[in-house]
């Protein structure tokens, strides 16, 4: 009897350990003009629900440094994530918030040998940005109608925002000047186009989260790869050329049930990573 109890205890401990260890390591990329500290509360909330989860919050490009060119951030942070990836051959999960979600997504494409299983984009300008609400912090007189004059220039392309500024009324300038977004979105063909597609299609889950009360990402549908058409109305993801022609692999993911579009009302841009309901209902279920 004593031996049976002992074996039962050992087995219970093993099951508990296996359950606790089931959560994959998680990497989090912060948003623009913030840094590691801004994501600590979210990380702690996740660890509370998923004990023993190994979480790394990227500690680079905080505050004003977040305005560094996107390719520079993608390559530098990507190397760090690839080191974490290599240390965990069974796979890791990745969350990117705001600009950090666009950086994180581009890393998956620039480093297609990653082993990220689930990527969650939390209110990120995946199809670009055409709003100046938060830009007034560093460009106080900027209005979106004339912002292209700054961003579609050599100087403007030395800023992260300029790299994903997508003015729907000046597309020719966008394609001629933008050094980042039209390439990483495979709007313009490059020697890396097939690599960029592969880096996304190998995911188990691509989770895109956004909502109409965001107030910063403009249009908010950009968080779902939707964007303005020529007449100023928003074209949803599934009617976008990138989806219809499957140039980025979004249709491939969708048909396999690996693309999830989550629309949440009542959450402002600065609250996505702090909102307990968002974390509990829309992040945790994907962080196995």
Backbone angles phi, psi at 282, to 5 degrees: -120, -5
The residue from 121, 123, 178, 214 that is catalytic is: 214
The residue from 66, 98, 123, 223 that is catalytic is: 98
C-alpha span between 178 and 73 (Å, rounded): 16
Which residue in this structure is represented by tokens 């606790």? 20
C-alpha span between 248 and 254 (Å, rounded): 12
Length of the chain (residues): 288
Structure tokens at 282: 């829309």
Annotation says 98 is catalytic = yes
Residue 271, C-beta contacts closer than 8 angstroms, at least 6 positions apart: 278
Q: Is the peptide bond before 219 cis (omega within 30 degrees of 0)?
A: yes
Other C-beta atoms closer than 10 Å to the C-beta of 7 total 10
Whether 169 contacts 86, CB under 8 Å: no
Annotation says 280 is catalytic = no
Other C-beta atoms closer than 10 Å to the C-beta of 255 total 10
Annotation says 170 is catalytic = no
Concatenated DSSP letters for 29-65?
A: E--TT--GGGGHHHHHHHHHHSTT--EEE--SS-GGG
Backbone φ/ψ region at 266: left (φ over 0), alpha (ψ -120 to 50), beta: left
Interior CA angle at 236 toward 122 and 258, to 5°? 55
Residue 206: name the closest of 269, 267, 165, 248 by CA: 248
Backbone angles phi, psi at 63, to 5 degrees: 50, -130
Active site residues: 98, 214, 269
């Amino acid at each position: 009897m004593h031996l049976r109890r002992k074996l039962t205890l050992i087995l219970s401990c093993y099951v508990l350990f296996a359950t606790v260890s089931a959560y994959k390591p998680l990497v989090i990329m912060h948003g623009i003009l913030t840094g590691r500290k801004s994501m600590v509360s979210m990380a702690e909330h996740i660890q509370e629900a998923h004990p023993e989860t190994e979480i790394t919050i990227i500690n680079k490009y905080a505050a004003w440094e977040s305005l560094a060119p996107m390719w520079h951030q993608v390559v530098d942070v990507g190397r760090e994530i690839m080191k974490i990836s290599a240390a965990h051959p069974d796979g890791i999960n990745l969350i990117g918030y705001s600009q950090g979600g666009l950086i994180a997504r581009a890393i998956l494409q620039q480093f297609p040998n990653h082993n990220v299983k689930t990527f969650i984009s939390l209110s990120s300008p995946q199809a670009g940005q055409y709003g100046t609400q938060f830009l007034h912090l560093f460009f106080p007189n900027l209005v979106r109608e004339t912002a292209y004059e700054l961003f579609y220039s050599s100087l403007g392309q030395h800023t992260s925002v300029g790299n994903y500024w997508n003015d729907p009324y000046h597309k020719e300038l966008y394609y001629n000047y933008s050094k980042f977004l039209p390439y990483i979105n495979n709007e313009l063909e490059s020697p890396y186009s097939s690599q960029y597609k592969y880096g996304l299609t190998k995911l188990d889950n691509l989770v895109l989260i956004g909502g109409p009360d965001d107030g910063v990402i403009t249009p908010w549908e950009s968080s779902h790869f939707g964007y303005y058409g020529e007449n100023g109305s928003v074209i949803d993801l599934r009617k976008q050329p990138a989806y219809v022609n499957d140039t980025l692999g979004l249709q491939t993911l969708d048909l396999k049930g690996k693309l999830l579009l989550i629309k949440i009302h009542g959450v402002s841009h600065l609250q996505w990573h702090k909102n307990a309901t968002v974390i509990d209902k829309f992040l945790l279920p994907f962080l196995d």
